[in-house]
Chain A
Amino acid sequence: MNKKVNTKALFENIVHGIFLILGLITVGGVLLITIYLIISGIPAIKEIGLFDFLFGQKWASTAAEPSFGILPFILTSIYGTAGAIVIGVPVGFFTAVYLAKIAPKKVKVVVESAVSLLAGIPSVVYGLVGMYVLVPGIRVLFNIPDGASLLAAIVVLSVMILPSIINVSLTSLEAVPSEYEDASLALGATPIETYFKVSVPAAKSGIAAAVVLGVGRAIGEAMAVMMVSGNAANMPSLFQSVRFLTTAVASEMSYSSGLQRQALFSIALVLFVFIMLINATLNFLLKRDKER
């Protein structure tokens, strides 16, 4: 009897230990990446100078007299993400409200599965379609010499962030207690009034979290924007070819050497800091949501 209890306890302990180790692998991965990025990102910043690096307007990494200013990349990433949010959030938000409150069940099933499918499409496919359809389309539509531009990247990113925005908003809208809505309807408000004046305010932290998640997805995307944005290191402008923080790292990494390579790690570090800030915001919003 006693022995049996002991074996059981031992088994439990072993299982706990295994789970702990598995959990630590994730933590270890994050720590390893963080430490590696900081160690390999700092030297170039030191050599170039933090101010020149962050606010320099010229990137010419392989020139005879190289210059490593990443302001064009930072601004492009910010503008591109902002643009994607401006287009993607209204579309995603209203879709979520429709799905959560108004849509008939059959429509909801169809749209929801389409949204999940959209989330599952690899980013290289977005890029490919963008390259063959969107880029020539923009060139013809706006009568400009070349369609690979910030605008093309914004359009691709807005579509890519839709699933995250819709799914997270939908979940939080569905979590609004039906008593709130019933009360509003009983007081004589129309359904639409109820959805926008009761349900949406009640779900607002969840919707905010959805937006932040969209920002995170947009700022971290590399492959799709690399294929449609042209990758020239220009200061951002809607119809100009531009380079994002992510694509700056990805496009030059394979052939880079010396200070150029170190500077690419520094760009990755800057990107990492951006993502950390976004994650912190997300955690803050979700936590506030839980406490309420």
Chain B
Amino acid sequence: MKKTLAIALGLALSIAALSGCSEEQAQQTEASSQSSSAGKSVTGTVATDGSTSMESVIGALGEYFMHENEGVTFTYNPTGSGSGITAVSEGRCDIGLSSRALKDEEKASGLEETVLAYDGIAIIVNPENAVADLSVEQIAQIYKGEITNWSEVGGADSDIVLIGREAGSGTRDGFESITGTEDLCKYRQELTSTGDVITTVSQNPNAIGYASLSAVEDTVKALTVDGVEPTEATIKDGTYKVQRPFVFVTKADTKLTPATQAFFDYATSADAAEIITNAGVVPAN
């Protein structure tokens, strides 16, 4: 019985894999045949790959773009900033999505970045926590383990529980590079998603964590940093310090397909600002 099940599963998987391949091929040929036909309404595919933090904003943009241009197939593969950058440099997607600025070595390898929007990283604590404001310096000291008790920053006398993200996460990279705590954080927990961080902080009155501002819910309290509340306005004018860019990554020496170029122009234009704002981040243009 078990064996039959295993065999059936194996078959189903291989069929799925096969059909997946042929579909991709079909899409590719479609894209190449249609990319030559220039017109007002573009057709073809736009493949994006990368940061999971950008899901809501890129999903909204893609949906709107497909609605406007019926011949376009828009795909988004949420793999993470690192994978997205690798994918675009290997030509596996049209636009790589990164929730951090490119590193110098990545730029040297022929990649170009275009800032799409800014994402504020909220510092969150349990609603029961009396602390309401921390400086960037204090946040760094807390995460480096130099401040270990809430009473040192004006809270109750209890140990601070540091909640963070796993190595390689764009949010962690963003947070650590902004606060200057790279490789120094003494995490109590390293969780693999924004939702897990928020849940854990909401469950533990001693916890502190970080998450995209757009994902923060009422179950946790977002702290003000240096007295500045994390809002769109403060993120855009740069007074809220804990923020990071959402970036389109493209290859400098490769010309984008007409469909991709059209999407790129649209997303970075002022027309897209409203959709980007609705997705919870601050548009750059």
- On whether A136 and B204 interact (CB within 8 A), knowing A231-B190, A255-B166, the answer reads yes
Give the number of chain B interface residues (Cβ < 8 Å).
38
- Is A215 an interface residue, CB under 8 A from the partner? no
A232 touches B6 (CB 8 A): no
Residue B114 is within 8 A (CB to CB) of chain A in the complex: no
Residues 234-275 of chain A, each 1 if its beta carbon lies under 8 Å from chain B, else 0 = 000000010100000011101111001000000000000000
Quote the shortest CB–CB distance from B38 to chain A (angstroms): 37
**Which B residues are in CB contact (< 8 Å) with A243?**
190
**A: interface residue count bin:** 35 or more
> Contact between A255 and B11 (Cβ–Cβ < 8 Å)?
no
Q: Are B168 and A241 in contact (CB under 8 A)?
A: no
Kindly list chain A residues whose C-beta atoms are within 8 Å of the C-beta of B168: 61-62, 252, 254-257, 260
| Contact segment of A9-17, A18-26, A38-46, A197-205 | A18-26
**Residue pair A252, B167 in contact (C-beta under 8 Å):** yes
A68 CB, nearest partner CB in chain B, Å: 11
B133 contacts chain A at the CB level, 8 A cutoff: no
Is B188 an interface residue when CB atoms closer than 8 A count as contact?
A: yes
In the complex, which residues of chain A have a beta carbon less than 8 angstroms from the beta carbon of B187?
232, 241
Q: Is there an interface contact between B14 and A230, defined as CB atoms closer than 8 Å?
A: no
Minimum CB distance partner of A240 in chain B:
B188
A-contacting residues, B189-235, CB 8 Å: 189-192, 196, 199-200, 203-204, 206-207
- B189, A230: Cβ atoms closer than 8 Å: yes
Q: Which residue of chain B is the closest to A250 with respect to CB atoms?
A: B192
Q: Which residues of the other chain, B, contact A146 by a CB distance below 8 angstroms?
A: 161, 188-189, 204, 206-207
* Cα of A147 to Cα of B163 in the assembled complex, Å: 12
A23, B190: Cβ atoms closer than 8 Å: no
Name the interface residues of A142-182: CB closer than 8 Å to any CB of B: 145-148
Selected from A131, A136, A251, the residue in CB contact (under 8 A) with B190 is A251
Residues in B with CB closer than 8 Å to A136 are 203-204
Say whether B169 faces chain A, with CB atoms less than 8 Å apart: yes
Q: Which of B39-47, B81-89, B117-125 touches A?
A: B81-89
List B contacts of A257 (CB < 8 A). Answer: 82-83, 86, 168
- Which residue of B has the minimal Cβ distance to A132? B203
Which chain B residues border A61 with CB–CB below 8 Å? 167-168
Known A-B contacts A145-B158, A260-B167, A260-B168; A63 and B86 likewise in contact (beta carbons under 8 Å): no
Given contacts A136-B203, A255-B166, contact A25 B14 (CB under 8 A): yes
* Across-interface contacts of B10 in A (CB, < 8 A): 25-26, 29
In the assembled complex, the Cα of A232 lies from the Cα of B46 at a distance in Å of 38
> Could you tell me if B200 and A255 are in contact, using CB atoms closer than 8 angstroms?
no
* Contact A254-B167, Cβ < 8 Å, known A131-B200, A226-B192, A232-B189: no
A276 interface residue (CB < 8 Å to B): no
Partner of B183, one of A60, A252, A256: A60
- Interface contact A231-B183, CB-CB below 8 Å: no
Does A108 belong to the interface (CB within 8 Å)? no
A139 — nearest CB in chain B belongs to which residue?
B204
- 7 A-B pairs besides A231-B192, A241-B187, A256-B168 with CB distance below 8 A are A29-B10, A230-B188, A231-B190, A254-B79, A255-B83, A255-B170, A256-B167
- The 8 sampled A-B contact pairs (Cβ below 8 Å) are A25-B11, A26-B3, A132-B203, A145-B206, A146-B188, A147-B204, A231-B191, A241-B189
